[in-house]
Amino acid sequence: MMDLRIDRHPILKFDRGQPLRFYFEGNERSGYKGETIGAALYSTGLKEFSHSFKLERPRGIFCAIGQCSSCMMRVNGIPNVRTCITPLEEGMKVERQFGRGEVPTNTEKRHIEKKEVETDIAVIGAGPAGLSASLYAAKFGAKVVLIDQNPRLGGQLIKQTHKFFGSRTHDAGVRGIDIAEKLVKEVRESENITVMSDATAFGYYKPSTIGVATMDTLYKIRAKKIIMATGAAEKSLLFENNDLPGVYGAGAAQTLMNIYGVKPGDRLIMVGAGNVGVIVAYQLLQAGVNVKMIVEAMPKIGAYFVHAAKVRRMGVPILTRHSIKRAYGDGKVEGATIVELDEKWQPVSGTEQDVDVDGIAISVGLRPTYGLLDQAGVDIHFVPELGGHVALRSRNLETSVKGIYVAGDVSGIEEASTAIMEGRIAGLSAVLDMGFGGKEAEEMREKVRSELEDLRAGPFGERIRKGLEKVEVL
Amino acid sequence: MEEYEKKGTITIDYLRELGNIPSEERMKKGPVAMTECVQDIPCNPCAEVCPTKSIHMDNINDRPKVDFNTCIGCTLCMQVCPGLAIFMLDKSKEKPRLTIPYEMLPMPERGDTVRLLDREGKDIGEGRVIALLFPDKKYRSALVTVEVDDENLLLEARNLRVAGVKE
Ligand SMILES: Cc1cc2nc3c(=O)[nH]c(=O)nc-3n(C[C@H](O)[C@H](O)[C@H](O)COP(=O)(O)OP(=O)(O)OC[C@H]3O[C@@H](n4cnc5c(N)ncnc54)[C@H](O)[C@@H]3O)c2cc1C
Ligand code: SF4
Ligand code: SF4
C-alpha cells in the first residue's frame, strides 16, 4: 500500500502516536493516534473522498480544516462526518457516502449529554487571535471558555514552519509553530481558561449564549461577553474541473504535510503567488515535493520579494500573467493546462501548456469565516480590501451587537502578528467593558493599538488601512 | 513596477545601485553582511540583533542598510532573518568564502563539495563546505560557509545543492 507519510524533514519531527487499525469500506487500514481519519486515508493514496450531491462528481479533500464539505464520510454509521478534523480511533468503520447521507437507523442509540456552562467570556476559535484574547482577558481575572473545532489548538499557526516577520518584541525571526506552542502552553497553564477542543460552535442564541457540540455532548454556554475569532477559509477559483480530487487549497496542502506529515502529492503546481502561495511552495520543497511552477494572474508577484527569492533560488519558476485553464485526469488530477493572460486578463490563445502534475494547490486568498457573526445579527459589510464579509466594529473591536467582539482573520484577512494584537485588544476590551482591569488594562490596550498601527504603516499595509476606514465606524 | 516584482529575482546591478554590495577592500578585511531585502516590509529583527548597530532602518517598514565599515561579520543578523535574505562575503582568507542560509535536506557535511546555484536555481559552480552553523539546535536549518575558487560566485551563488541529489 502506498504511504505518503514524510519520514525526514528539515524542520519538523513527526512523533507519531500509537499505531491504530481501522476499516475503510471493509478493508483494514493502519494509521496512528493523533492523526485524523482524513490524513490517515490520504496517506494511503486515497484521492476520492466524496461525491457531489447532484452529479456525483468525485471530490477530494479541499480545505483540511473543517471548513468545507468535500471530505465528509460515514463513520461508524454516522453520515457527514468531516474526516479531515475527526481524530482516528481504533476499530473505526469508515465509508464513502453518496448524496446527502442517510440518517443512521440501526446504529446503537447514542446517548448525548446536555450541559450548561456559565462563564465571563466565551472565545470561539483558538488561533493566534483567540489564544491571545483568552490570555489577555484571563490576566485580569475573567473566567474564559475557549472553544475550537479542531483537535489541536493554534489555528493556522501550527503549520507555519517558517520564521515570522515583524519586530523582536513580536517574535520576529521565530517560527510560527514555536509561537503557537508558546501561546498554547500559556493558555493551558492559566487557571482562568477552560479549553474545549474538538468542539464546534454552531449557533448564537439570545441572550448571549453559544451552542457548542462535541461528539457526545451538547453545551449551552452562557457568557457575559463573546469574542469571535473564527479565522478564515480558503477561496476557490473558477476553472474547468476545479473539483477534481487533487485540487486543494494551499493551506490544506500545508495542513497535511506540516501537521500530519503526509505529502499532498509528488508533483504540484501552485496557483497564486501571494505570501501564502509562495511560502507553502517553499514548504512543499522542504517536504520533498517537486513544485513545478507557480502561476500568478497579476502582472507582479504579490508575495514579499524575499519569500519569492527563496523559491526562485530553488529553481521554481514564477510565471506572472499566467493562470490555470483547466485540470485534467480520470477521477483525479493528472495534469494542469496553464495559459498566458493579456492586459485585459483574457487568455492568449495558443499559449496553452500542459504541466504534468498530480496536485494543484490553489492560493488565491482567504475569506473570513463570518457565519456565526451573521447569524448573531451583527452588521456585516462586504469589504474587498479585508477579504470579504466582515463585521462593522468600534476601535475596541466590539460589533454592532453589544458584547460581541471580533479579532483576527474573521475581522479582515491579515497576518498572525496582527491577529495576536487584535486578540489582545478584544480580550482587554471585553474585561474593561465588564468593569475589570482598570487603568492598567486601558494603558495596555493603548500600547497594543499603537504597535498595531506601526505594523500597518508600510506600503503592504495600505489595503488594510483602506479597508479599516470602511468598517471601524461604530 | 520593478523588474524583480515580475520575476522574483534581483540583479547584481540593481543591488549595486542600492549600495548593497560591499567594496573589494572591505571584503578583503574580513567577513561582511550583504542584504538582499529591497522592499519596504514590516520587519526589522536584523537591525535589532546587530551588536554593532550596523544595520540602519528609519522605521520597521524601511529596508535594511548595512554600514560595511562597522559590520564585524558576526552572522547574528543572518541567524534571525526570516527572509533568508542576508549573505556573508569574505575575501580575507586564502580562498574567497560565502555563507548561505540553507533549510533543505539533505544537509551537507563539513568537507563536502556542493553545487552552487544562482538566484534562479541554475547550477553555476562548486564550493567546499568549511563550516556549518545551526542557530537553533531544534532544526536542521543552517548557515553554510563554502570556499570557492571563482570569486564571482560570491555575488552570484545564492543556494546550494548536495552533489548527487537530483534537480
Ligand atoms: C498557508 C498560510 C500561510 C500563512 N503564513 C503566514 C505568515 O508567514 N506570517 C503571518 O503572520 N501570518 C501567516 N498566515 C496568516 C495567519 O496564519 C493568519 O492570519 C492567522 O492564523 C489568523 O489567526 P486567527 O486566530 O484569526 O484565525 P485562525 O488561525 O484561522 O484560527 C481560527 C480558529 O477558529 C476555529 N473555528 C472556526 N470556526 C469555528 C467554530 N464554529 N467553532 C469552533 N471553532 C471554530 C478554527 O478551527 C481555527 O482553529 C498564513 C496563513 C495561511 C493560511
Ligand atoms: S554580521 Fe553582525 S555586525 Fe554585521 S550587520 Fe550582521 S549582525 Fe551586524
Ligand atoms: S530580518 Fe531579513 S527580511 Fe527582515 S528586514 Fe532584515 S533582512 Fe529583511
Q: Is B124 on the interface with A (CB under 8 A)?
A: no
Let me know if A83 is exposed, middle or buried by CB neighbors in 10 A (0-12, 13-18, 19+). Answer: buried
Inter-residue contact B44 to B82 (CB < 8 Å)? no
- Residue A21 CB: number of other CB atoms within 10 A? 12
Rg of chain A's alpha carbons, rounded to an integer?
22
Grid coordinates given for B68: 560595511
Look at residue A108 in the predicted model and tell me its pLDDT.
62
- Residue B166 clears pLDDT 60, i.e. is over it: no
Look at residue A195 in the predicted model and tell me its pLDDT.
98
pLDDT digits (tens, 9 = 90+) for B66-99: 999 999 999 999 999 999 999 999 999 999 999 9
Look at residue B1 in the predicted model and tell me its pLDDT.
86
Nearest by CB to residue A162, choosing from B61, B82, B122, is B82
In chain B, domain spans: 3-162
Q: Which of A425, A419, A427, A428 is nearest to A386 (CA)?
A: A419
Look at residue A54 in the predicted model and tell me its pLDDT.
87
Is the interface score ipTM higher than 0.90?
A: yes
pLDDT digits (tens, 9 = 90+) for B21-38: 999 999 999 999 999 999
> Distance, CA A458 to ligand 2 centroid (Å)?
24
Look at residue A106 in the predicted model and tell me its pLDDT.
62
Ligand 3 pocket mutation, candidates A165, A175, A305, criterion most atoms within 8 A of CB: A165
Residue of A258, A275, A293, A305 to mutate when probing chain B, most B C-beta within 10 A: A305
The ranges of chain A with pLDDT < 70 are: 105-110
Closest CA to ligand 2's atom 4: B71
Distance from CA of A175 to the nearest CA of B (A): 8
The reply to whether ligand 1 has any atom less than 6 angstroms from the CB of A155 is: yes
Look at residue A390 in the predicted model and tell me its pLDDT.
98
B/e letters for B72-91, b = 16+ CB within 10 Å, e = fewer, are ebbbbbbbbbbbbbbbbbbb
Let me know if B124 is exposed, middle or buried by CB neighbors in 10 A (0-12, 13-18, 19+). Answer: middle
Inter-residue contact A341 to A322 (CB < 8 Å)? yes
DSSP for A157-186 reads GGG--SBP-B-GGGTTTSBHHHHHHHHHHH
Secondary element (H or E) of residue B100: strand B97-102
Distance from CA of B94 to the nearest CA of A (A): 28
Q: Which residues of A touch B48 (CB under 8 A)?
A: 167-168, 172
- Global pTM value: 0.94
For residue A255, give every residue at least 6 positions away whose Cβ sits within 8 Å of its Cβ, in sequence order, or none: A64, A65, A84, A159
Please identify, by atom number, the ligand 1 atom nearest to the C-alpha of residue A156.
29
Look at residue A242 in the predicted model and tell me its pLDDT.
96
Look at residue A53 in the predicted model and tell me its pLDDT.
86
